[in-house]
Structure 1
C-alpha cells in the first residue's frame, strides 16, 4: 500500500529484561523473562507482520540477549533481529565474531542496538564513556566490513588484527542503532551510528532533535536515519484505549514504581531525565499532548510514554512522525504478545512498512 510517505520500519519489543506486566509494577510469574515467554513474543511479532524486533539488554535483569538472539535466529524466518549490546561488557573483536555468526544463523537479518551505559561497579564520566562507544562502533565497522584492524584508542589498542573469518551475509557491518540525548551522546551518534533512536517527547521537541542531529552528522560528512521508540495502546475506540491505560496503573504502588526505575543502570541519564520532565509537565490525566500518555514512565526507566488512541488516531500520530523524518519505529505494549496482536490487527496493515 502507499500512504504518500516513504516506507517505514515497524519493530516490536521482546521483554528480555523482566519488563512485561498485566498491571505495571506488579510482578507476574507468567510474564517473567524466560526463553519460552520471550520466544513467544518474537513469534507473535513475526506472525503479525512486524519488520524487526528489539532484543533489549538489561545486564542484571532478565536473560542474556546475545544467547537469546542466536537461538531465536534459528527459530524465525522473516523478522529482523535488533540485538542490543552494552559497550564495555564485551571485547569488541569477540563481539564482531558473535555478530557475524548470529547474522549467518539468521540468514542476514541481524541489526545492532548500541548501548552506552555503565557496568555494575563502574562509573565513567560521560565524555570517556561515549568515547568508548565511538571506538567500539569504529572497531565493529572495520572488522565486520572485512578489513584488518589497526586501532590506537583510549580504551582499545590493536595492531593488524585480522577480521573474523566468518563474515556477515552481506559482507558488511549490520546497521547500528543508537540513542542518547546528552551532548556527548549526540556527538557519538553523529560520528558513528546509522539510525538515531529517540524516546517519546512533544512534537516540537522531536523536530528540534532531528534538526540538531542532521546538522551534527553533516559536520562529520555523514547522514543519519531516525527512529522512535514508544509504547502503544490501540483499541477500537479512544475511550477504550484510555481506559486500558488507566487499568495498567490501577495497582501500581508509587514506591514500587520508583524502585523499578532505580534498578536501571541508565536511571540518571539525560534521556531518562527528559522522560521524567515530560511526565512531570503532562496534564493531570498524564497526557503530554494529544494521544501521548506518560503513565508508563511511572513504573519503568527509559522509554516512558505511550501512543494511546483508536486505530485512526494511532495511525495519524505515526504518520505525523514519519512526515517529520522518522523512518523506524520500535513499539511495545503490556502484555507484549497481546498488544503486538492488537497493533498488527488494527494499525499495521494500514502502514507502508518494510525493514530498513
Structure 2
C-alpha cells in the first residue's frame, strides 16, 4: 500500500510519569522520582513551558496516582497545552466517565483529549475478546453522551437508556479518542471506535505493515484513522552525547531487577509487549533495531521499549520519516522526563511544523 504523508502540522506531545515511571537510572527506585502530584506537575510545567502541544497522563491501577484527579488539579495552571487523559475502561462507569470528561474539558477551555485503555476491573480478570467488547460498548456510551445525545444501548455488557447530559464539552462534541493495541481484537476496536490509533516503536517495515492493516480495517467500517507514535527520545547536540546518555541511564540496571519491573506492569503479557521483546532480540550489539532506534530502554520497563537516539537533525529526520508514513501525532518521553522535555523542546521542537491535532474525529 502506498504511503499517505501527513501534510501540515503534526501534534507533538510529552508524557507525565503518573505511574511511577521516572528515573535518572532505569531499574532503580529513587523516591525523588516516584509519582507525586508535585513531581508529575513539574513534568507538565516543563512541557507547557517548552511549547509541547499535548501531554499524556497515563493510568495504572496498581502504580502511581489517579489521572482524572491529577488532570483536575493541573487544569487551572495549563494555559495552552492540551491534556491527553488516559482512562481505564474497566475501572470506570461510562456515564460517570462522560461527566468527568465534560467537566475537565470545560476546565481546560476545550483542550481535553482522551486515551482509552481496555482494562480489567481491579480484582477481576476478563478474557481478551469480551474485555475489548466491553471497551467498545463503553466508548459508544461515552461518545454518545459527550455528543449531547441520548443513550439507548442493549449490549452484552451494558444495558441502559439515558437522556442527554446537561453538562457538555466546550465544543458540544466528544473529544477525540486515542487508542492502541496489537491483538486482532484490539485492532478491531480501534478501527470501529477510535480516532487516533497509537502504536509503539518498531522497525520501519513492521510499522508500515501495521499502518496498512489499520487503514484497511477502518475502511471496512467506513472510517478513516489518524495515527500516533509513542516513543522515547534521547537528543543531545551530538550523536555521541546522546548515546552516552543512553548508556548513563542504563548504567545501574540489574538484569533481574529489570525483569521484575517489566513483570509488574499490567500489560506485561500483551501482544504489543511481546513484539517489543522481539524487536529488542533482533537488535545489534548496541541495542539498535535500525538507524537511531535504540531498544535498551525495554530491558527496564514494559510497554514502549525503544527510543529515538541522536543529534537534533537525526531525531527530526526520524520523526519526519514517520510523518511521511502517515503519522500526525507523536507522544514522546525521556529519562528523567522533565529534563528530557527541556532538551527536546530546545533542540528539536523548533525544527518541526507542529500544532494540536485538529479534526481528529472521523
Runs of 4+ in 1 over 2 A off after TM superposition: 3-6, 117-121
How many Å apart are 1:4 and its aligned residue? 9.3
How many Å apart are 1:273 and its aligned residue? 0.5
Q: How does 1:150-169 map to 2 (within 5 A)?
A: 150-159=152-161, 161-169=162-170
Q: How does 1:229-268 map to 2 (within 5 A)?
A: 229-268=230-269
Say if 1:118 and 1:265, in contact at 8 Å, map to a contact too: no
2:40 to 38, 41, 53: 38
- The CA distance in 1 between the partners of 2:244 and 2:164, in whole Å, is 53
Say if 2:6 and 2:324, in contact at 8 Å, map to a contact too: no
Residue range with higher mean Cα deviation, 119-128 or 87-96: 119-128
- The CA distance in 2 between the partners of 1:92 and 1:176, in whole Å, is 14
Q: How does 1:180-259 map to 2 (within 5 A)?
A: 180-259=181-260
- The CA distance in 1 between the partners of 2:79 and 2:347, in whole Å, is 23
- The CA distance in 1 between the partners of 2:281 and 2:268, in whole Å, is 16
Considering only aligned residues, what root-mean-square deviation do their CA atoms show, in Å?
1.1
Say if 2:6 and 2:327, in contact at 8 Å, map to a contact too: no
Gaps of 5+ in 2: 358-362
- The CA distance in 2 between the partners of 1:60 and 1:75, in whole Å, is 27
3-state SS in 2 of match to 1:88: helix
Residue range with higher mean Cα deviation, 118-127 or 59-68: 118-127
Q: Where does residue 136 of structure 1 map in the other structure?
A: 138
How many Å apart are 1:122 and its aligned residue? 1.8
Q: Where does residue 100 of structure 1 map in the other structure?
A: 102
3-state SS in 2 of match to 1:83: strand
Q: Where does residue 360 of structure 2 map in the other structure?
A: none
Q: Where does residue 177 of structure 1 map in the other structure?
A: 178
- The CA distance in 2 between the partners of 1:43 and 1:207, in whole Å, is 34
How many Å apart are 1:123 and its aligned residue? 1.7
- The yes-or-no answer on 1:271 pairing with 2:255 is no
Q: 1:12-45 CA distances to partner (integer Å, 9 max, x unpaired)?
A: 0000000000000111121111111111100110
- The CA distance in 2 between the partners of 1:123 and 1:93, in whole Å, is 22
1:58 to 53, 57, 60: 60
How many residue pairs match? The answer is 353
Residue range with higher mean Cα deviation, 170-179 or 125-134: 125-134
3-state SS in 1 of match to 2:222: coil
- The CA distance in 2 between the partners of 1:123 and 1:60, in whole Å, is 14
How many Å apart are 1:165 and its aligned residue? 1.1
Say if 1:55 and 1:65, in contact at 8 Å, map to a contact too: yes
2:124 to 99, 122, 133: 122
Say if 2:112 and 2:175, in contact at 8 Å, map to a contact too: yes
Gaps of 5+ in 1: none
3-state SS in 2 of match to 1:208: helix
Say if 1:117 and 1:266, in contact at 8 Å, map to a contact too: no
Say if 1:14 and 1:55, in contact at 8 Å, map to a contact too: yes
Say if 1:10 and 1:52, in contact at 8 Å, map to a contact too: yes
How many Å apart are 1:5 and its aligned residue? 4.2
